[in-house]
Amino acid sequence: MNAQESDFDQLVAGLTVLCEGTDDGKFSCKNDAEWHLDYHGCNEELLCEGHASAYVSQLIYLLSRYGSAVCSKCEKTSYKLTDHIRVVKV
């Protein structure tokens, strides 16, 4: 590692990214983002543990109860969790 990479690593290590989630669409979350959610290429968000967990739990409920989930952005119907969303730890 050269000096330039070391400086960059130190700079990036101190950065935090806030959750993009909202509570009832009104108040922005103030927690640090921990998860990157990719909604089948339609949309992406960085979410905290609470918002990511709530979204995935709701999606699991919809899939188990109704057998499918419809994207609120593009209206694509998914029948499996892995077809609808990809979740990666930031």
The alpha carbon torsion through 28, 31, 32, 38 (nearest 10 deg) reads -50
More confident residue, 20 or 9: 20
Q: The whole model's pTM is what?
A: 0.77
Helix, strand, coil in percent for the chain, rounding step 5: 35, 25, 35
pLDDT higher than 90, residue 31:
yes
pLDDT higher than 70, residue 79:
yes
pLDDT band for position 35 (50/70/90)?
A: very high
